[in-house]
Amino acid sequence: MAQQRWLMRINGRVQGVYYRASAKYKAADLGVTGYAKNLSDGRVEVVAEGEEAALNEMLEWCWQGPPNAEVTNIECEKAAATPYYDNFQIFNS
């Protein structure tokens, strides 16, 4: 199967609840590469690259997030993967 790149913008109570760090651990478990970063409007942006099955699991996890998160919406854009990422990183906004 071809690798895919999913750009997810997560809305809700997602900053200050270890969302990015938790996303990094989940991505590592799934073998997904990319990054997570806070956006200035209060959302978290996650770029995830991998096989579709792993990305579906990552998206499911993003709806839950860590224990103190309250996700209200996720915008997801799908595209072909890039060779840019070799791990999952946390970026500061």
Q: Which residues are catalytic?
A: 20, 38
Angle of CA points 72, 31, 67, to nearest 5°: 35
**Residue type at position 88:** F
* 17-46 exposure pattern, b = at least 16 Cβ within 10 A, e = fewer: bbbbebbbebbeebebbbbbebeeeebbbb
- The structure tokens 């839950």 sit at 64
